[in-house]
Every structure is written in structure tokens, then in C-alpha cells.
């Protein structure tokens, strides 16, 4: 089902990455495996946090940078949407913690969403929806994950893929500008085990066995408490399902594909994304990437790519199709107008955690 919004715009996008760089060529896997992996995924290095830094630390820094650079009064932001799979606590919601840290009004609407690869598109639609029905002109969509912390050090299927990042997107509502943004979301929960952390929730609480590494039937060495990825199933989902979703979206919205300036897909891996772009029938130069330098940054991968490739978006009005897909298995597609006035910031995280309880 399509959701359409008029006169809501993306004013600014900010991202924050850890300063620590982990290069895939330096990992302790055999050289042949590493070379093949780097070639297929397109990932040469990633930014990874230390054991104390949380997603909210990166997200907070990105949001603070955006608010300061845009000279926005935090009290004028009436909606905050936080999307992360790795919040500070089981309870309470980290959205309220960040709301207070950023100086937003106690009357601001703050909500947390647990979503992964499609999380940016989900977060944007929720932000657009809440902004459209609330008496406020600004909304913050905060998205970020520290997936590297749940990748086992010897798991060759996950560790070379995932980097960490946080982002903030400022939305504003204005009748003086005309624009049209369209969203379509969906998911297939029957495939939920293709990307999963089996232990650690209430279904399978942490036990002594959760910390014991084992080798599965595909030869992957990991622990039940860490992220588990069925790479082949995810790859086949990407190349079989995602092109159909995007083509259907383009047809339903009656977009002329030639009028779309850029396509920004969730940064899963280069081989998958290139096949998707080819199946859509799009010029490969219209696809933007951040994989080489940052890897798969989960729900932050689309805003990470936006700021990393902002030089392509700054010069003029651009119509961009965003598509997130993966864990769940879920997906989200949207068409967004980026104006030449949209601003972009990218910073590094250097300080100690700001949202810790100490």
C-alpha cells in the first residue's frame, strides 16, 4: 500500500562513524577467502566501535551536530523517531533518553522502533506520518546500529561485512515548497531465521551454552548469542524479490525511471546490489555506494551513503529512490526529493559514551 506525503522535506542529513578502522585484509582468515570476500562484497574496510560504545552514542553525536550546524532550537522539534536494533536497555526506550539529552521538549513525541536493514525507510515513513498530523514543523529521524558488537570474531560470514554508524535526518513541514514523497513498506516473516540472533531474548534467554562456539552445517563458526546470517538465502531474496518490488513501486507511482537521478539501496554487498540495479534496468552510474569504506552499516547504510556521496546530491534538485531490505525479512521503498538546499554532515566519534548510566 502506497503512502503519499506533500510538503514535507528532508532539510538535513548527518552521520557519525567510529574513528577506529578495521581492514578486511588484516582479518585472521585465509588469504584466498579474504580476497574472494572483498571482491564479492566490495567491502575493504569498516568503522567499528569499542566494547563500551552504543548505537545511541553515535546517533546522539550525529543529531547534536545537525542541530548545532542548522541552528535549530531543539524545542522546535516536536517528533523524534529512533530506529535501532541495539538500544541501551531492554527497558526503557532509548528514544526518551535521547529526547532529554538533545534538549527537546517534554511534550515532544518520542518513539523507538526495532528495525534493521529497511529501518531508514521505515523510520522516514513514520517521521513523515507523525509530522503530517502534529502541530510542529520539525521531526528528527534517528537511525543507527553497532552490529560489529554482535559479530563473532571468527565468523567469516558476518565479521567482514558489518560496520557501525549512527545518523540523524531532520524533516520539516512547509507549505511554501511543493514536493511529493511516496512510501511502500512490507515484509515476509516466514523468513525471519535468515538473519537472527537466536539467544538473548525472552524466547531463548542467555545461558551458559550461548557463549560456546560451534560449527554449523555450512562450516560457519560462531556462538548462539551472536548474529547469524544465511548468506545464500539473503542473497537470493535480494536478487529475486527486491528488483520486483522496486519495479512495482515505480509502476504504481507512475514514475518515469529516466527522471530518477539516483538509486540508493541498503548496502548489503556489491554483488547483490549490482544485480538488483541491473535487473531494474538502471544505468549503473545512478547507483550510489558506501560499501568500500564503511561496509554494511545495517539501518544506517542508506543515510551513510547519502552523506558519503553528498557531492552528487548538492548541486541541484534530485529525485532519489531509496530501498531498504533484509532482516525480518522486511523491505521499504520510497521516492524522495532532495533539494539543492538540503545539507549534509559526516563526523567521527572520538569521545567516551555519552548515554551511559555512570
Q: What is the DSSP string of 25-67?
A: GGSSS-HHHHHHHHHHH---EEE---TT--HHHHHHHHHHHHH
Provide the phi-psi class of 281: left if phi over 0, else alpha when psi is between -120 and 50, else beta.
left
CA 320 to chain centroid, in Å, comes to 16
CA-to-CA distance for 60 and 69, rounded, in angstroms?
A: 14
> Is residue 155 within 8 Å of residue 91, measured between CB atoms?
no
Contact 329, 229 (CB under 8 A): no
Contact 163, 295 (CB under 8 A): yes
What tens-digit pLDDT sequence spans the chain (358 residues)?
899 999 899 999 999 999 999 999 999 888 888 888 899 999 999 999 999 999 999 999 999 999 999 999 999 999 999 999 999 999 999 999 999 999 999 999 999 999 999 999 999 999 999 999 999 999 999 999 999 999 999 898 899 999 999 999 999 998 766 788 999 999 999 999 999 999 999 999 999 999 999 988 888 888 999 999 888 999 999 999 999 999 999 999 999 999 999 999 999 999 999 999 999 999 999 999 999 999 999 999 999 999 999 999 987 889 999 999 999 999 999 999 998 899 999 999 975 544 444 3
Q: Are 245 and 323 in contact (CB under 8 A)?
A: yes
Domains and CATH numbers, the chain: 1-358 (3.40.47.10)
- Tell me the C-alpha distance between 301 and 292, whole Å: 12
For the entire predicted model, the pTM comes to 0.95
Q: CA-based diameter of the chain, in Å? A: 60
Q: Confirm if 182 and 334 have CB atoms less than 8 A apart.
A: yes
Q: How far apart are CA 50 and CA 34, in angstroms?
A: 23
Axis crossing angle, helix 301-308 with helix 119-133, rounded to the nearest 10 = 90
What is the per-residue pLDDT for 351? 52
> Environment class of residue 92 by beta-carbon count within 10 Å: exposed (0-12), middle (13-18) or buried (19+)?
exposed
Measured CA to CA, the distance from residue 166 to residue 183 in angstroms comes to 22
What's the confidence (pLDDT) of residue 177?
62
- How far is CA 19 from each of CA 24, 163, 203, 254, 315, rounded to the nearest angstrom? 16, 12, 36, 43, 29
pLDDT at residue 30, as a whole number: 82
Residue with cell string 536497555:
89
Amino acid at each position: 500500500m502506497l503512502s503519499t506525503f506533500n510538503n514535507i522535506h528532508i532539510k538535513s542529513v548527518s552521520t557519525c562513524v567510529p574513528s577506529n578502522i578495521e581492514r578486511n585484509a588484516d582479518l585472521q582468515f585465509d588469504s584466498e577467502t579474504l580476497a574472494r570476500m572483498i571482491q564479492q562484497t566490495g567491502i575493504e574496510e569498516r568503522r567499528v566501535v569499542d566494547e563500551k560504545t552504543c548505537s545511541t552514542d553515535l546517533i546522539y553525536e550525529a543529531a547534536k551536530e545537525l542541530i548545532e550546524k542548522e541552528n535549530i532550537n531543539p524545542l522546535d522539534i516536536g517528533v523524534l523517531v529512533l530506529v535501532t536494533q541495539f538500544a541501551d536497555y531492554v527497558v526503557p526506550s532509548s528514544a526518551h533518553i535521547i529526547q532529554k539529552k538533545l534538549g527537546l521538549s517534554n511534550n515532544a513525541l518520542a518513539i523507538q522502533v526495532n528495525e534493521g536493514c529497511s529501518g531508514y525507510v521505515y523510520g522516514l515513513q513514520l517521521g513523515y506520518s507523525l509530522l503530517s498530523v502534529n502541530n510542529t514543523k520539525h521531526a528528527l529521524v534517528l537511525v543507527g546500529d553497532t552490529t560489529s558488537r554482535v559479530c563473532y570474531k571468527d565468523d567469516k560470514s558476518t565479521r567482514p561485512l558489518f560496520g557501525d554508524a549512527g545518523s540523524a535526518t531532520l524533516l520539516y513541514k512547509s507549505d511554501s515548497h511543493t514536493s511529493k514523497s511516496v512510501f511502500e513498506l512490507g515484509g515476509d516473516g516466514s523468513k525471519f531465521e535468515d538473519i537472527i540472533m537466536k539467544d538473548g531474548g525472552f524466547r531463548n534467554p542467555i545461558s551458559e551454552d550461548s557463549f560456546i562456539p560451534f560449527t554449523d552445517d555450512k562450516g560457519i563458526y560462531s556462538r548462539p548469542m551472536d548474529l547469524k546470517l544465511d548468506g545464500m538465502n539473503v542473497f537470493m531474496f535480494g536478487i529475486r524479490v527486491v528488483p520486483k518490488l522496486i519495479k512495482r513501486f515505480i509502476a504504481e507511482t507512475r514514475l518515469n525511471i529516466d527522471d530518477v537521478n539516483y538509486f540508493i539501496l541498503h548496502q548489503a554487498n556489491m554483488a547483490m546490489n549490482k544485480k538488483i540495479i541491473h535487473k531494474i534496468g538502471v544505468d549503473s552510474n545512478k547507483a550510489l555506494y558506501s560499501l568500500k569504506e564503511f561496509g554494511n552499516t545495517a539501518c544506517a547504510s542508506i543515510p551513510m551513503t547519502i552523506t558519503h556521496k553528498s557531492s552528487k546530491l548538492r548541486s541541484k534538485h534530485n529525485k532519489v529512490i531509496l530501498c531498504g531490505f533484509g532482516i525480518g525479512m522486511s523491505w521499504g521503498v520510497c521516492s524522495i526529493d532532495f533539494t539543492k538546499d538540503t545539507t549534509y554532515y559526516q563526523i567521527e566519534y572520538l569521545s567516551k559514551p555519552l548515554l551511559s548510566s555512570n
